């Protein structure tokens, strides 16, 4: 019997009328394809299961666990192959220890962890208390475990006792805030393992908090901040044709506005006379903070400088003045000598300024103070006073170079921060120089300068 070229097998089945009409055809090619597809799906499932099991083992076994597993495999294998009972005993003991460690992993993910902070913004030196609430959401008893809470670069361990179903454990976590900065708290990570440290399972929770540790500030008197008492503006030495502060009367020249004609003087002299005014400026304060490593001798000097800049900026913002806080921006090494860069902090509110100051750090490759003041003078030509906050490494020459970037009608005050120096006030050409050793010295020296 010969088969068709399509390799089909035909079977004839008798119908109800006795004739062989109904036929069923089976394709050997289709059957092979179906078997191949089923085999491929089975292989993929096995491979996925093996991969998941391998990932579980890799994430569960500690260094001690891998050591015991190696001893178990090698000891039993070599012991049985060569008949060495000592190797078999070592392998069996290692395997038993691994098996006994497995129950300690039960209920590893039955916790519901909630971490809250008392505040999200504090002043440096004021510790923050956090509340850790752990609930057993499983049906059975959760064995004792541990929760790790990353706090900045450190780690806090909180040990959780045995919890029955739906029971809660509350613990307090203290977040240290010794230094200004931005501290990331969390996410909490539950850790469960055996007493010998053979197996360990971890579960990470998505609860993460950002804590702003603001610099320490001192309260400055409103009438002395910036040596400017007039909140609406101060008269400058620029003479203009239209403003608020009256200055003098001069003869009329073509182009002058008729509303500025002084009719009484015109009647007396018989010549048209017009008013002149002194230009009134808004009390805009520019605070330039040095940020290069070479501009400070120690970290204490830099922290004092940040606190001084923060105190000046907060006082100016609360007085309703326009405040701009600038510092050197990061520069690439190749263009460091020929480029300038300036970073401007947010001064919408006192809180936004303190938030930005929390992250300020001195760096080796940033623009020096003289470059920052030149950029600030170009960006804010309407400044009425400028504070230059720097460290003890600044010389009189570098301070004068930084001050010369501003116009002559801008009052410039340099604040030199040196915790080891005595407080003092002196004049350097047209610039006032304050030397402070403590933050409180800033308030006293500003009051003295405003009265002089």
pLDDT tens per residue across span 103-123: 877 766 678 899 999 999 999
**Residue 56 pLDDT more than 90?**
no
Q: What is the mean pLDDT of residues 258-267?
A: 82
**Residue 299 pLDDT more than 90?**
yes
Q: How confident is the model at residue 430 (pLDDT cuts 50, 70, 90)?
A: confident
Tens of pLDDT along 113-154? 999 999 999 999 998 999 999 999 888 888 788 899 999 988
Q: What is the mean pLDDT of residues 199-215?
A: 88
Residue 328 is predicted with a pLDDT of 93
- Which region among 271-285, 291-305, 413-427 has the lowest average model confidence (pLDDT)? 271-285
Residue 259 is predicted with a pLDDT of 79
pLDDT above 70: percentage of residues in the chain? 83
Residue 331 is predicted with a pLDDT of 82
Q: What is the mean pLDDT of residues 242-250?
A: 59
**Residue 247 pLDDT more than 80?**
no
Q: How confident is the model at residue 448 (pLDDT cuts 50, 70, 90)?
A: confident
Quick one: three-class SS letters along the chain? Answer: CCCCCCCEEEEECCCCCCCCCCEEEEEHHHHHHHHHHHHHHHHHHHHHHHHHHHHHHHHHECHHHHHHHHHHHHHHHHHHHHCCHHHHHHHHHHHHHHHHHHHHHCCCCCEEEEEEECCCEEECCCCEEEEEEEEECCCCCECCEEEEEEECCEEEEEEECCECCCCEEEEEEEECCCCCEEEEECCCEEEEECCCCCEEEEEECCCCEEEEEECCCCCCCCCCHHHCCCCCCEEEEEEECCCCEEEEEEECCCCCCHHHECHHHHHHHCCCEEEEEEEEECCEEEEEECCEHHHCCCHHHHHHHHHHHHHHHHHHHHCCCEEEEEEECECCHHHCCCCCCEEECCCCCHHHHHHHHHCCCCECCECCHHHHHHHHHHHCCCCCEEEEEEECCCCHHHHHHHHCCCCCCCEEEEEEECCCCCCEEEEECCEEEEEECCHHHHHHHHHHHHHC
**Residue 3 pLDDT more than 50?**
no
Residue 15 is predicted with a pLDDT of 46
Distance between CA 176 and CA 129 in Å, rounded? Answer: 9
**Residue 304 pLDDT more than 60?**
yes
**Residue 244 pLDDT more than 60?**
no
Residue 26 is predicted with a pLDDT of 47
Tens of pLDDT along 355-366? 999 999 999 889
**Residue 16 pLDDT more than 80?**
no
- Which region among 89-98, 133-142, 256-265, 439-448 has the lowest average model confidence (pLDDT)? 256-265
Name the residue among 225, 166, 243 with its Cα closest to residue 350: 225
Phi, psi of 392 (to 5 degrees): -75, -10
Q: What is the mean pLDDT of the chain?
A: 83
Q: What is the mean pLDDT of residues 401-427?
A: 92
Tens of pLDDT along 174-195? 999 999 999 999 898 888 778 8
Residue 280 is predicted with a pLDDT of 53
**Residue 303 pLDDT more than 60?**
yes
Q: How confident is the model at residue 20 (pLDDT cuts 50, 70, 90)?
A: very low
**Residue 306 pLDDT more than 90?**
yes
Residue 109 is predicted with a pLDDT of 64
């Amino acid at each position: 019997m010969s088969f068709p070229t399509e390799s089909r097998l035909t079977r004839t089945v008798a119908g109800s009328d006795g004739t062989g009409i109904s036929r069923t055809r089976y394709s050997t090619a289709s059957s092979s394809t179906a078997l191949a597809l089923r085999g491929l799906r089975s292989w993929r499932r096995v491979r996925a299961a093996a991969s998941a099991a391998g990932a579980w083992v890799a994430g569960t076994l500690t260094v001690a666990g891998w050591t015991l597993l190696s001893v178990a495999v090698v000891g039993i294998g070599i012991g049985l192959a060569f008949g060495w009972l000592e190797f078999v005993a070592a392998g069996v003991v290692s395997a038993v220890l691994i098996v006994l460690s497995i129950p300690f992993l039960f209920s590893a993910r039955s916790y519901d962890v909630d971490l809250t902070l008392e505040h999200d913004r504090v002043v440096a030196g004021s510790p923050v208390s956090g509340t850790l609430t752990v609930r057993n959401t499983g049906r059975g008893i959760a064995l004792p475990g541990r929760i790790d809470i990353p706090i900045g670069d450190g780690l806090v361990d909180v040990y959780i006792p045995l919890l029955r179903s739906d029971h809660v454990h509350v613990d307090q976590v203290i977040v240290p805030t010794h230094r200004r900065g931005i501290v990331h708290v969390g996410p909490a990570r539950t850790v469960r393992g055996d007493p010998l440290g053979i197996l360990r399972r971890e579960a990470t929770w998505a609860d993460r908090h950002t804590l702003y540790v603001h610099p320490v500030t001192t309260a400055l008197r409103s009438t002395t901040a910036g040596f400017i008492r007039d909140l609406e503006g101060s008269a400058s030495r620029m003479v203009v044709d239209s403003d608020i502060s009256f200055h003098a009367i001069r003869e009329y020249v073509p182009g002058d506005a008729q509303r500025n004609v002084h009719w009484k003087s015109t009647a007396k002299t018989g010549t048209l006379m017009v008013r002149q005014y002194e230009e009134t400026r808004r009390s805009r304060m520019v605070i330039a903070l040095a940020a290069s490593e070479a501009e400070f001798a120690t970290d204490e000097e830099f922290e004092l400088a940040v606190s001084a800049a923060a105190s000046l900026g907060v006082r100016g913002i609360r007085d309703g003045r326009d405040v701009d806080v600038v510092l050197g921006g990061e520069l690439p090494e190749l263009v460091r000598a020929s480029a300038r860069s300036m970073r401007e902090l947010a001064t919408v509110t006192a809180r936004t300024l303190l938030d930005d100051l929390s992250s300020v750090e001195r760096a080796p490759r940033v623009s020096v103070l003289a470059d920052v003041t030149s950029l600030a003078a170009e960006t804010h030509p309407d400044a009425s006073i400028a504070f230059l906050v720097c460290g003890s490494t600044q010389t009189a020459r570098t301070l004068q170079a930084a001050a010369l970037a501003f116009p002559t009608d801008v009052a410039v005050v340099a604040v030199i921060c040196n915790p080891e120096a005595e407080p003092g006030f002196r004049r350097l050409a047209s610039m006032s120089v304050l030397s402070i050793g403590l933050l409180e010295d800033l308030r006293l020296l500003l009051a003295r300068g405003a009265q002089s």
